[in-house]
Chain A
Amino acid sequence: KQEVTQIPAALSVPEGENLVLNCSFTDSAIYNLQWFRQDPGKGLTSLLLIQSSQREQTSGRLNASLDKSSGRSTLYIAASQPGDSATYLCAVGLWETSGSRLTFGEGTQLTVNP
């Protein structure tokens, strides 16, 4: 059974700091990995999608890497801002016998202090 772990569970940083969020998964037979952010009481906003054949993706101040062989992904946030405060979730896409699913980590709750 695929397990996804995110470290740290919570992180508090001053504005302007660069930071790294970590995601690890136990089964490397994934077809993609997606990073989301979730604001309190809201749905998930897609940040970055990395296909299993890719090593990294970038969008603005965000950069995500994927090392499928070691079962790890990192989300790098440059020059953090208070508006980045949210819970960040990673999810791995898996094929199963009859279909597919995303398996999520528990998330990292990020607070960026002004």
Chain B
Amino acid sequence: KAGVTQTPRYLIKTRGQQVTLSCSPISGHRSVSWYQQTPGQGLQFLFEYFSETQRNKGNFPGRFSGRQFSNSRSEMNVSTLELGDSALYLCASSVTPSYNEQFFGPGTRLTVL
């Protein structure tokens, strides 16, 4: 069974640009969550999606947005990039939200210059 896939794996952008990251969950998983990992803040929760609905959102500015499609694939978008947005963005999938084991993808490494 294929794991969680994330594309692209690496991105380099400049300040002010926007970026879209993609996550494909494990087949049969309907819940997707996103996390940001930085050396200073560790792993921080961004969003939780289930059945195309955003169920929960972390404490991030409105520049961070996301969505989930009917096939459970998810995208997150960051607009007006700032230097501080440089991070590893991780996507996790589970069968349903809560209770179930979360499986993480390899991440997208975003560098903002």
Contacts and interface: CB of A to CB of B under 8 A. Distances in A.
| Secondary structure call for the A interface | strand
A17 to B, nearest CB: 27
Interface residues of B, number: 25
The size bracket of the interface on A is 20 to 34
Contacts of B4: 43
A101 B45 contact: yes
A98 B43 CA distance: 20
A6 to B, nearest CB: 10
A89 B106 CA distance: 16
A36 interface: yes
A106 B42 CA distance: 6
13 contacts: A32-B99, A34-B102, A41-B109, A44-B104, A91-B102, A96-B56, A98-B56, A100-B55, A101-B56, A102-B45, A102-B92, A104-B35, A105-B42
Interface of A: 31-32, 34, 36, 41-46, 49, 51, 89, 91, 93, 95-96, 98-107
Given A43-B106, A98-B56, 15 more contacts: A32-B99, A44-B92, A89-B43, A95-B98, A98-B55, A99-B55, A100-B48, A100-B98, A101-B45, A101-B48, A102-B33, A102-B43, A102-B45, A102-B92, A104-B42
